[in-house]
């Protein structure tokens, strides 16, 4: 007998079934559902005038939107930042908005680091 409340459809997947991994060499914080990358934040590490993690893009695969993946990626980026003692200088519009909504988890970015991050990005147009 089939139960109507059990759905094998992927839309039933939740963020709790997703793992997040930091691929620092590639500059990607990736969310996985099994072996499939379902979302990621592209970032770079700013070295001067100070070290900072700089998220540039947040992307969630269309079939996985609306499951909290982007927010979980942003939360993990700030957790990595806290563990490493390195601030975040967000250029990604999604991460900027997420940080505004979660000031207890996302300290305000240093304006000098933001300016330096923007200058770095402008000097490396093919990177993102």
Q: Which residues are bridge partners to 25 per DSSP?
A: none
- Best CA proximity match to 38, nearest among 61, 16, 59, 21: 61
Q: Give 33-78 pLDDT, tens digit per residue.
A: 999 999 999 999 999 999 999 999 999 999 999 999 999 999 999 9
3-state secondary structure the chain: CCCCCCCCCHHHCCHHHCEEEEECCCCEEEEEECCEEEEEEEEEEECCCCCEEEEEEEEECHHHCCCCHHHHHHHHHHHHHHHHCCCECCCCHHHHHHHHHCCCCCCCCCHHHHHHHHHHHHHCCCCC
- pLDDT tens for 72-115 read 999 999 999 999 999 999 999 999 999 999 999 999 999 999 99
The predicted pLDDT at position 16 comes to 53
């Amino acid at each position: 007998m089939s139960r109507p409340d059990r759905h094998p459809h992927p839309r039933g997947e939740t963020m709790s079934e997703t793992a997040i991994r930091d691929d620092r060499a590639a500059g990607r914080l990736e969310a996985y559902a099994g072996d499939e990358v379902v979302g990621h934040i592209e970032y770079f590490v700013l070295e001067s005038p100070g070290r900072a993690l700089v998220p540039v893009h947040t992307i969630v695969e269309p079939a996985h939107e609306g499951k909290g993946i982007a927010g979980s990626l942003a939360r993990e980026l700030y957790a990595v930042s806290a563990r490493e003692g390195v601030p975040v200088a967000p250029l990604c519009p999604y991460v900027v908005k997420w940080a505004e909504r979660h000031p207890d988890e996302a300290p305000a970015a240093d304006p000098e680091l933001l300016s330096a991050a923007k200058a770095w990005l402008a000097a490396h147009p093919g990177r993102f």
